[in-house]
């Protein structure tokens, strides 16, 4: 087999959800947008339902519709992008709950689906989605009369516990919502870790479920093993890969592995990461190409048939650091060519 195997450990996913759930007295939902951060929203959500999750969040109505078909009629599916033009039938038919972000969305929803559930997103300083304070003041009574299911906002800097933006947003959220008898939500993964002041009635972890920062205690959920296509001798002074960027400083053994930037192994990682043959480090050499990568196996005792890029030795955040990005991008870039295997007890 010349494609890599991506293994998703659903037991580790559930461990992470339970660990985050235990950090607050609030209800704990789950964010499964971007196809469950690239790991398969259908499988991820069904596993989380076994742990008791009954509320999910997705980015768009189309994601919500696909999730509804996968998990059935009972769980609540909330849509961050709200009620967009053209979404009305999908929201109604699939029983989705839009988080309304603007006065236009509120009007659209109330006129098209006056009895249908909705939540409201408030902007507390991130300037991305949600009603700003003056807009909220203008429509607040109208909205509250119609019984929203949730008032929510999103923290911009929760991955940095000392950032002054966190308490500023908390104060703004409380000013906009204190005294209202509607469930509230401010915390995703980083917000949960900031402590109980940020928890309110509902938390909605995302990346921490999948083993990513800032949840440093997360169990690894993803492992990636890549087959070796060929091993060759390379004499000192010879080069490997495009543009001769790696030149052997000694007589070497070089393996070509079957993955590349088309599979989400970001080209900018270059030679900043290793792969592992059992416990042995095998440096990446030369440029990451579309479908193949060279690795140095000179010092490996037994020539490997496959190597590990992600797993117990190396996390998504290690790869992200090497690529100058974040773990979210690594997870959501995982290539469609991978053979996917789900582990669950």
Percentage of residues in the chain having pLDDT higher than 90: 95
Other beta carbons less than 10 A from residue 100's beta carbon: 26
Q: Identify the architecture of domain 10-210 in CATH.
A: Alpha-Beta Barrel (3.20)
For residue range 214-243, what is the model confidence (pLDDT) as tens digits?
999 999 999 999 999 999 999 999 999 999
Q: What is the pTM of this model?
A: 0.93
Q: Which of 33, 198, 210, 261 is catalytic?
A: 33
> In the structure, what pLDDT confidence band is assigned to residue 312 with cuts at 50, 70 and 90?
confident
Residue 242 is a catalytic residue: yes
- Contact indicator for 234, 251 with CB cutoff of 8 Å: yes
H or E segment to which residue 63 belongs? helix 61-71
For residue range 239-291, what is the model confidence (pLDDT) as tens digits?
999 999 999 999 999 999 999 999 999 999 888 899 999 999 999 999 999 99
Q: Which of 37, 198, 242, 272 is catalytic?
A: 242
- Contact indicator for 29, 56 with CB cutoff of 8 Å: yes
Question: Where, residue-wise, is CATH 3.20.20.10 in the chain?
Answer: 10-210
For residue range 317-345, what is the model confidence (pLDDT) as tens digits?
999 999 999 999 999 998 889 999 999 87
Question: Where, residue-wise, is CATH 2.40.37.10 in the chain?
Answer: 222-343
Residue 33 is a catalytic residue: yes
Q: Looking at residue 1, what is its pLDDT?
A: 56
222-343 carries CATH number 3.40.50.720: no
CB burial of residue 238 (10 Å; 0-12, 13-18, 19+): middle
| 62-96: burial string, b at 16+ Cβ within 10 Å, e else | ebbbbbbeebeeebbbbbbbbbbeebbebbeebbb
What is the average pLDDT across 147-156?
98
Chain length of the chain: 345
Greatest distance between any 2 Cα atoms in the chain: 77
CA–CA dist 335, 328 (Å, integer): 14
């Amino acid at each position: 087999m010349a494609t890599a195997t991506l293994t998703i450990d659903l037991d580790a996913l559930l461990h992470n959800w339970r660990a985050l759930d235990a950090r607050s007295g609030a209800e704990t939902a789950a964010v499964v947008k971007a196809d469950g951060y690239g790991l398969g929203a259908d499988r991820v959500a069904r596993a989380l339902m076994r742990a008791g999750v009954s509320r999910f969040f997705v980015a768009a109505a189309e994601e919500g519709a696909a999730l509804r078909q996968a998990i059935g009629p009972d769980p609540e599916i909330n849509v961050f992008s709200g009620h967009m033009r053209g979404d009305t039938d999908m929201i109604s038919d699939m029983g989705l709950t839009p988080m309304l972000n603007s006065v236009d969305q509120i009007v659209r929803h109330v006129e098209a689906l006056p009895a249908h559930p909705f939540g409201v997103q408030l902007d507390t300083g991130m300037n991305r989605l949600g009603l700003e304070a003056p807009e909220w003041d203008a429509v607040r009574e109208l909205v509250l009369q119609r019984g929203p299911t949730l008032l929510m906002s999103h923290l911009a800097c929760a991955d940095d516990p000392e950032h002054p933006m966190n308490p500023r947003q908390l104060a703004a959220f409380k000013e906009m919502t204190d005294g209202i008898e509607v469930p509230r939500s401010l915390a995703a993964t980083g917000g949960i870790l900031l402590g109980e002041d940020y928890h309110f009635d509902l938390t909605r972890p995302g990346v921490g479920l999948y083993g990513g920062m800032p949840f440093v205690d997360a169990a690894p959920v993803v492992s990636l093993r890549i087959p070796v296509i060929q091993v060759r001798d390379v004499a000192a002074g010879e080069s490997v890969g495009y543009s001769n960027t790696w030149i052997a400083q000694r007589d070497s053994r070089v393996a070509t592995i079957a993955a590349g930037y088309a599979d989400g192994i970001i080209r900018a990682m270059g030679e900043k990461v290793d792969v592992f043959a059992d416990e042995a480090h095998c440096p990446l050499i030369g440029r990451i190409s579309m479908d193949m990568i060279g690795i140095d196996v000179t010092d490996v005792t037994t020539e490997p048939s496959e190597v590990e890029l992600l797993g117990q030795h190396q996390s998504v955040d290690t790869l992200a650091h090497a690529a100058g990005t974040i773990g979210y991008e690594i997870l959501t870039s995982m290539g469609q060519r991978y053979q996917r295997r789900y582990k669950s007890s």
